[in-house]
Every structure is written in C-alpha cells, then in structure tokens.
Amino acid sequence: MSRAHTRYGLAREGWPFIVPVALSLPAALLAGWCVASGLLLLLLLFLLNFFRDPERRTPTGEGLIVAPADGKVVRAEGDASGGRIDIFMNVFNVHVNRAPCAGRIEAMRYHPGRFINASLDKASEENERNRITLRSDDGARITVVQIAGLVARRIVSYVAVGDRVEAGQRIGMIRFGSRVDCLLPEGFQPVVAVGEKVVAGETVIARRAERS
C-alpha cells in the first residue's frame, strides 16, 4: 500500500512543486536568462533532494521500535515504565514518516497550533501537530506525533483509523523541516541518545525491556 505514495523515488507531495520548476528551467535557458536558469536549477535540486523517498530495510524481531522519522534525536528519556524519543528533521532530511512497529491505527487527532522552531521542546505542545496512536500486534500502544515547524506548514497523513500497518510502512510526511515525537508505552526502553542520527524505518530506537 505504501508504494502508492511514492513514484520514481519521490514522494507524491513533491510533484506539484517539482514539475513547474522542471518545465520552467528549459524555457529560461532558451530565453538566455542565465541568473534565472541558475536559480531554477538550484531550486530543482533542492526539491528533488527534499522530496526523495528511498526504500528502507526494516529490521525484524519482537519488541523492536524503529525510528518514525529521519533526523537527529533531541530528546530521549524513559525507563521500563515508558518514555519518549523526539526526532528533529532539518530541510535536508527525508521527510516521509514511517510506522514504528506493526499493528493497527487505533486513534488519530489533529491539533491546530503555532509554527515555532521544531527543535524546541515546547513545539511538542504548542505547534500544529497530528497525533497517531498505534496498537501493536502484542498489545502495546505507541503514539507518533507529527509536528509542524518554523518552515513546515503542512502535515500529511497516509493512514486512517482502523488501517493495518507494517513496521517501516510510510504513514505520512511533513513539508520543509519539522519534528516527530515517539511516545513509548510501559515495558519499552530507549536505546538511542540525544544527538544521535536515526533513519526512519531502519534505526531501532527502543526495545521491550527484559522481564526480570
């Protein structure tokens, strides 16, 4: 199902931006507009980079939570009683978000809000955001929060309540710089630290704690 959201390695949300720029570039070249051509080329390269959507190899195994977003960990806390991992995406990261584990979408809630710098902790509570709660196959409840940032002004969701998702499946994206928080249930512990870079659908960010 996730393949419908990407074409030629690019997220479908990028095509309305990419196509007009790609068509304008040869016209500018033919007209001899050197500066405009250069700017259009740079813009096209930026858009191609931003909306890239590569395939990912998701690790398999019980009790694993994979990163829902590419980026840098700006918050990682918790213990066996639960916790959270927050990931900041700059404009050069892949912005397609992925399911942290296999399961079913239990709830979704959109919150309107501000557009402050997404790297700040208060962005989790004040910015525009979309909260997706997933019930895993073993009954754990994991919540992914897509948060708009200073530049990002549109949150896109590919899933709906009741949908079945696999670990690493595309579930949405946020345009032009943003943040994704992953709220962990009881029994899971973070295995990444602040400052680490993670890859959506590939990097294991939390594991089920071993019972003593």
Q: Is 13 helix (H, G, I), strand (E, B) or coil?
A: helix
Which residues are within 8 A (CB) of 152 and not within 5 positions of it... i.e. 6 or more apart?
115, 118, 174, 175, 176, 177, 178
Report the Cα 193 to chain-centroid distance in Å: 18
Strands 155-157 and 96-98: unpaired
Q: Is 77 helix (H, G, I), strand (E, B) or coil?
A: strand
Catalytic residue among 2, 37, 136, 178: 178
Q: At what angle do helices 34-50 and 15-30 cross, to 10 degrees?
A: 160
**Any catalytic annotation for residue 124?**
no
Q: What residues are labeled active site? A: 178
